[in-house]
Amino acid sequence: MADLSIDFCGIKSPNPFWLASAPPANCGEQVMRAFDAGWGGAVWKTLGVPITNVSSRFGAVDYAGSKVIGFNNIELITDRPLDANFKEITETKKKYPDHAVIVSLMVESKEEWRDIIKRSEDTGADGIELNFGCPHGMCERGMGSSVGQEPAVLKEITAWAKEYSSIPVLVKLTPNIGDILDPGVAAVEGGADALSLINTVKSIIGVDLDRLTLLPRVGDASSNGGYCGPAVKPIALHMVGALARDPRITIPISGIGGISDWRDAAEFLALGSTSVQVCTAVMHHGYRIVEDMIEGLDNYLEEKGMSSVHQLIGRAVPGFKDWGDLDLNYQIVADIDADKCIGCQLCYVACLDGAHQCIHTDNGPCSAWHGEPDHGMNPRCEVAPPQRHEPRIADKPHVPWVDEAECIGCNLCALVCPVPDCITMREIPNEAGPESWNDHVAAGKA
Amino acid sequence: MTAKFHETLGADRLESKFPDAKPLYTESEAYYEANRCLFCYDAPCISACPTGIDVPGFIRKIATGNIKASARTIFEANMLGTSCSRVCPVEVLCAGACVFNDLNGEPIHIGRLQRYATEKALFDEAETGRKLFEPKPDTGKKVALIGAGPASLACAAYLALEGVKPTIFERGKLPGGLNTTGVAPYKLHAESSLDEVSWLLSHGVDLKTEVEVGKDVTADQLRRDYDAVFVGIGMGDDRLLSFGNENNPYVLGATALIEAIKNDAGFQLPPGVKTAVIVGGGNTAIDIARQLAGLGVEDVSMIYRRTAAEMSGYKHEMDYARKEGVTLVENARPVKVHQEEDRVLGLRVASTVTDQETEIACDLIVMAVGQESRVHALGLDIEVNDRGHVVVDLETMRTGREGVWAGGDCINGGKEVVNAAADGREAALDMLRSWGLQPRKWRYSPSV
């Protein structure tokens, strides 16, 4: 078994899997159950001046029979009394001394920050996380993402926290900005011990087409919320990666955004996260998902010959290059495995309508009701419609084929193919050697 | 109209003992099944459908909750899409061609999705009064259709929507053809068939029941009074092999027996029947075998002159029959009924391989070896082939006689409802074109 334990700016955790500051980390009873299930740490639901929440506060995007591929909320910070929260944090940390307990905080004035940090420290918590990310409700009161969107303010408040806190300070960033490096660098300059990101993306989850109002509907209206879940993972990866490769970011990163399983987690770790935080997947399926995350990551590390999770962290960071440095001579083409092909022709129509018209079929007359647009592009087409082509594979006439001379290697066909490993992208050897756009520019060719 | 049909049908029919083998999907069943569909391009299920329904297209519309449009997609290709969703042998048609057979062996349940879309949409139409299809203005054309089975009903519905006035002449009491009288009751009860007929008629089709062409009205009269005649009379009486005993109450024709089970109020099997032998290897033979087994006949066997692999009955149906206890005797032909007065004691059969004779003890014999043609009874001078089937041009469904089209079982000796529905559509559209009328763009894939 690989060593999954991490040291995150001095915070020790038995594994990199933490609950994000959100409903699954709302109270002591929940967090303790999560630790029992296997979670290595938890960032407590944000504490601050108590608020009142609305009823009807979550919304989701379903897609083609899959539930909650995207999720949004208009819930605010904790609506439970601070005393209760601090009492439960103390109990939790006492009962689970080896787990990471981090308290998320969001208040306004310097005095409020001083007081709440003091009380957080008194619980025995391992760290605090400054919530500069929440894009709904609290930002309108000058907190949350309204801080994360102003690097100077973010830096100043971070500095306050560092002034008062003797435990590590994480700064949680909002993705609702132009360049994640601006708040990231500001946090480092403010003295933050670590970054966590992304918080939710400002969103409207949908429109109620019967009542013609917004979702999630609160009476006859709704408000913008924060979007998260599997659909935001690529956005989060981009921002985590951007920070991880910037030399000014010298502090560890806790990756957040659509992490649902060990694969997602491994990707965030490879792209520079030291820990990962999970909310939506737990809200969807419960704490039990961590079992697969632990075992999956362990098996993966073992297969890759890594004895510790620390050996994975940041390994994919150098894989990022500016577009101008990518090799323009790298060429791949699609290969369709006729044995595996089931003849759905999703690759064909995707290429025909959505890409470069280089996949062809033989199973119908070229002038068939749907086939006509393809006729002129079909290099095999020497017969006048409506005659048929002889299928290349007599007993599987529905198998499409790739005109390799025309294939630009865009991957679309492989992406839409429902059969595992049926369409693969094959590299065409290139004798010219790599050449990038920037090479072209340098050589005066562009 | 529906109420009147149901009244004619009467209650206390044996078919009501058979529950629906594949009940209407619930909303969640339909949602998850529809979302499983890959939405293939040039999908093999479309080519496998004799009416060329855009199957992935209608399934996608179920997945998005666009049920009305889904049903329209189905009906435009197949006006009998409701009954076909239940009676089609999807295992050898659309679902048999589904790519999931190769992907994980679980083809999309296309028939059940089609039933969901069509029944939901028709229910909604009945509730709201918003019709799925509105007829075009009257063209002044009139068409007489002989026989109220699927072929005529499909033809008449398309004609009515195209502004033609169709009149169907049906010699029986009830319309619907085999959908009403012959389809296995675990697939479709007569009531559902009649509901579908009522919907089809509601587009402006006139139906005259208990009017027999060739007897109550002559074919020549129809040709004079109408702009076109469509022959959709299906097949006639059960063929009985000539070994005597035709009048024995314990030797019955399969379609007649099925019709009695489905339609006749108070009908019971002949008293004391415990063992039945079915002669034949087609789908009608399997159907009656399964029905007799389902009605409690303890020992049901089929005899067929060749091997199981050569049967015209579908393998999946024979598999169901076997599960229900039906046995198959291969390579056997009937020789003589062993009887004592009116009672049957057994059927003597001879091996088609060795000619050796044996006797199968039984107290009921059902003949399922095809039906007679009854084209001659129309008194309509149209060409038939050596089997008595009407000869038509399969592109246009025209008979050799000017102004006379034909389709359905009477041209092929007995295929599926879906084939009849396709024939009816093609005939209707050809009639319109023959009059220089441009039909609306009905969405379906031309048969390949």
A232 and A347 belong to one structural domain: no
Nearest to A342 among B31, B42, B103 (CB): B103
Residue A129 has pLDDT above 80, yes or no: yes
A260 and A368 belong to one structural domain: no
Are A344 and B41 within 8 A, CB to CB?
Answer: yes
The last residue of one of the domains, among A271, A293, A319, is A319
Give pLDDT, residue A380: 53
Q: What is the ipTM of this complex?
A: 0.88
Does residue B292 fall inside a structural domain?
yes
B205 and B160 belong to one structural domain: yes
Cβ–Cβ contact B35 with A under 8 A:
yes
Please give the Cα distance from B406 to B378 (Å, whole number).
13
Give pLDDT, residue A365: 46
B223 and B197 belong to one structural domain: yes
Residue B244 has pLDDT above 70, yes or no: no
- 3-state DSSP call for residue B201? helix
B61 and B95 belong to one structural domain: yes
Q: Which residue of A has its CA nearest to B30?
A: A65
The last residue of one of the domains, among A319, A345, A380, is A319
Does residue B354 fall inside a structural domain?
yes
CB atoms within 10 A of CB A83: 9
Does residue A1 fall inside a structural domain?
no
Tens digits of residue pLDDT in A334-392 = 999 999 999 999 999 999 899 988 888 876 544 333 344 455 555 555 544 445 566 77
Supply the mean pLDDT for chain A: 93
Instruction: List chain A residues with CB under 8 Å of B39.
Output: 346
User: What mean pLDDT comes out for the span A102-127?
Assistant: 97
Please give the Cα distance from B222 to B216 (Å, whole number).
11
Does residue B406 fall inside a structural domain?
yes
A213 and A269 belong to one structural domain: yes
Residues with Cβ within 8 Å of residue B35, at least 6 apart in sequence? A64, A65, B63
Residue B424 has pLDDT above 90, yes or no: yes
Q: Is the backbone peptide bond immediately before A386 cis, with ω within 30 degrees of 0? A: yes
A159 and A93 belong to one structural domain: yes
Residue A139 CA to its chain's centroid (Å): 22
Does residue B444 fall inside a structural domain?
no
Give the number of domains in chain B.
Answer: 3
Domain coverage including residue B81: 19-128
Domain coverage including residue A37: 6-319
Instruction: List chain A residues with CB under 8 Å of B32.
Output: 65
Question: A100-114, B100-114, B330-344: which has the minimum mean pLDDT?
Answer: B330-344
Give pLDDT, residue A273: 98
User: What mean pLDDT comes out for the span B188-210?
Assistant: 97
Please give the Cα distance from B188 to B261 (Å, whole number).
13
Please give the Cα distance from A259 to A267 (Å, whole number).
9
The last residue of one of the domains, among B128, B159, B178, is B128
Residue B242 has pLDDT above 90, yes or no: no
| C-alpha torsion angle, residues A147, A153, A156, A161 (rounded to 10) | -10
User: What mean pLDDT comes out for the span A131-145?
Assistant: 89
In total, chain A counts a number of residues equal to 446
Tell me how close the Cα of A249 comes to any Cα of chain B, in angstroms: 45
Nearest to A418 among B38, B41, B44 (CB): B38
Give pLDDT, residue A367: 35
Give the number of domains in chain A.
Answer: 2
The last residue of one of the domains, among B77, B98, B128, is B128
B377 and B430 belong to one structural domain: yes
Instruction: List chain B residues with CB under 8 Å of A363.
Output: 42
Residue B73 has pLDDT above 80, yes or no: yes
Instruction: List chain A residues with CB under 8 Å of B63.
Output: 64-65
B309 and B356 belong to one structural domain: yes
Give pLDDT, residue A389: 61
Nearest to A398 among B36, B44, B63 (CB): B44
Tens digits of residue pLDDT in B30-50 = 999 999 999 999 899 999 999
Q: Determine whether A53 is exposed, middle or buried from the number of CB atoms within 10 Å of its CB (0-12, 13-18, 19+).
A: middle
Q: How confident is the model at residue B385 (pLDDT cuts 50, 70, 90)?
A: very high
Residue pair B275/B321 in contact by the 8 Å Cβ criterion: no
Q: Determine whether B385 is exposed, middle or buried from the number of CB atoms within 10 Å of its CB (0-12, 13-18, 19+).
A: exposed
Give pLDDT, residue A142: 87
A300 and A331 belong to one structural domain: no
Residue pair B201/B207 in contact by the 8 Å Cβ criterion: yes
The whole model's pTM is what?
Answer: 0.92
Give pLDDT, residue B358: 96
Give pLDDT, residue A368: 32
Which one from A9, A134, A347, A413 is the annotated catalytic residue?
A134
B346 and B257 belong to one structural domain: yes
What is the phi/psi pair of residue A242, to 5°? Answer: -60, -40
Q: Residue A287's closest CA among A16, A7, A25, A15?
A: A25
Q: What is the CATH number of the domain that holds B256?
A: 3.50.50.60
User: What mean pLDDT comes out for the span B331-344?
Assistant: 91
B23 and B112 belong to one structural domain: yes
Q: Residue A216's closest CA among A56, A76, A70, A23?
A: A56
Cβ–Cβ contact A344 with B under 8 A:
yes
Residue A74 has pLDDT above 90, yes or no: yes
User: What mean pLDDT comes out for the span A282-305?
Assistant: 98
Q: What is the CATH number of the domain that holds A409?
A: 3.30.70.20
Q: How confident is the model at residue B85 (pLDDT cuts 50, 70, 90)?
A: very high
CA angle B17, B22, B27 (to 5 degrees): 125
Question: A184-198, B71-85, B176-190, B236-250: which has the minimum mean pLDDT?
Answer: B236-250
More confident site: A137 or A275: A275
Question: A35-49, A178-192, B239-253, B356-370: which has the minimum mean pLDDT?
Answer: B239-253
Q: Which two tokens stand for residue B367?
A: 């003949």
A194 and A79 belong to one structural domain: yes
Does residue A202 fall inside a structural domain?
yes
The yes-or-no answer on residue A139 being catalytic is no
Residue B155 has pLDDT above 80, yes or no: yes
Residue B2 has pLDDT above 90, yes or no: no
In chain B, % of residues over pLDDT 70: 98
B30 and B121 belong to one structural domain: yes
Does residue B191 fall inside a structural domain?
yes
User: What mean pLDDT comes out for the span B188-204?
Assistant: 97
Give pLDDT, residue A383: 47
User: What mean pLDDT comes out for the span B65-79?
Assistant: 98
Are B42 and A370 within 8 A, CB to CB?
Answer: yes
Residue B245 has pLDDT above 70, yes or no: no
Does residue B355 fall inside a structural domain?
yes
Cβ–Cβ contact A207 with B under 8 A:
no
Q: Residue B421's closest CA among B100, B98, B74, B8?
A: B74
B391 and B355 belong to one structural domain: no
Does residue B66 fall inside a structural domain?
yes
Q: What is the CATH number of the domain that holds A231?
A: 3.20.20.70
A284 and A174 belong to one structural domain: yes
B188 and B262 belong to one structural domain: no
Q: How confident is the model at residue A395 (pLDDT cuts 50, 70, 90)?
A: confident
Does residue B386 fall inside a structural domain?
yes
